[in-house]
Amino acid sequence: MNESLVIVAAMIPAGFAATYMWRALAVVAVTRIDPESDLLLWVRAVSTALVAALVMRMIIVPSGVLATIAVEHRIGAVAIGIAVFYAASRSTQVATFATVIALVLLHIVSG
């Protein structure tokens, strides 16, 4: 037990150091990068495409508990979330909350 406690105690500061080292480097780098440069626009486009691909994968081929919910309900909840996103002045928090609530309600109503 003591040995695992020492390992966890060493991992936590190491994790913080690794995370905050990259954040500190990003703060330094961001002051020198033009936000409208071609490279940064490309990085933004690629990251947006990756997020969209992961969301679609979660909808079409989910794993775990999400796989127990019908695909029609998952697609319906996302459609509701997108509608709420635009209705709520492009608020991602409100849209995410609405999507989760819609998914739960669709799943409960269908039995």
Predicted structure pTM score: 0.64
User: Dihedral sign, CA of 2, 6, 7, 11?
Assistant: positive
Quote the pLDDT of residue 1: 57
Q: Which residues of the chain have pLDDT under 70?
A: 1
Reported as a single tens digit per residue, the pLDDT across 54-78 is 999 999 999 998 999 999 999 999 9
Quote the pLDDT of residue 63: 92
* Number of Cα atoms under 13 Å in the Cβ half of residue 81: 21
- Find, among 41, 64, 44, the residue nearest to 52 by Cα: 44
106 C-beta neighbours (distance < 10 Å), count: 18
